[in-house]
Structure 1
């Protein structure tokens, strides 16, 4: 079989299918179905109309404190994600707090939000652990 440049075997153990990184299309689709829609995960109308706009208005630029941006200073990119912080949405719900209150969030750029989600121990159901 000719070698395909940039193609690798699916990351799901035992799957012989090729992908351009990570899971093959079938396994990627299965993972998305298990994950559920945003609505099924609790991100409803209040999230869209109250939490997200409130957080992004308060933090129009990314407020990350990841190292690598110069001594823990924010990266300064435009915020595009309203991230629940310091508690996750799941933790806020468990404690009976309003997860859609903008005071429970911070604005992050795309790369910082992805990094935070991937490395967060509170988000055991995150995409990187499936």
Structure 2
């Protein structure tokens, strides 16, 4: 499906500004990013950078998302290069709640950007900045 282009009104209710990227205008996008905090503030610290992410991406250099909705063949694995180390099958939040090590590479999988975005939107809807 082709991507829509052109200017659209900001998605924040009452905001009259326009965005050429869709969603929020530049000011509201900046505000949302500030509320979201840095990766460190969201709990992705040194151990995530040195232990979890490198090990997951080394083990899964190709996206392992089965039945990717972004791919032409939904019955096969994605086959794009992995960019994200995604906590799987439990979310990072669930691992922490259960007292499990969320930086253990066996609790992750490598995903490409599109599959990671789709997975996050599907499994954690409306939680931008809350995980």
Task: Using structure 1 for the length normalisation, give the TM-score.
Answer: 0.86
CA contact (8 A) 1:10 1:22 kept: yes
Task: Using structure 2 for the length normalisation, give the TM-score.
Answer: 0.86
CA RMSD of aligned residues (A): 1.9
Q: May I ask how many residue pairs the two structures share in their alignment?
A: 123
* Structure 1 segment 20-35 matched on structure 2, within 5 A: 20=20, 21-35=22-36
Equivalent residue in structure 1 for 2:96, among 80, 93, 99: 93
Mark the runs of 5 or more structure 2 residues left unpaired by the alignment: none
Distance in 1 (CA, whole Å) between partners of 2:57 and 2:18 is 39
Deviating above 3 A after TM superposition, structure 1's stretches of 4 or more consecutive aligned residues are none
Larger Rg: 1
CA spacing shift, 1:71–1:118, aligned 2, 3 Å: closer
Mark the runs of 5 or more structure 1 residues left unpaired by the alignment: none
Establish whether residue 79 from structure 1 lines up as the match of residue 87 from structure 2.
no
CA drift of 1:71 comes to: 4.8
* Structure 1 segment 99-110 matched on structure 2, within 5 A: 99-110=102-113
Distance in 2 (CA, whole Å) between partners of 1:61 and 1:126 is 26
Establish whether residue 61 from structure 1 lines up as the match of residue 59 from structure 2.
no
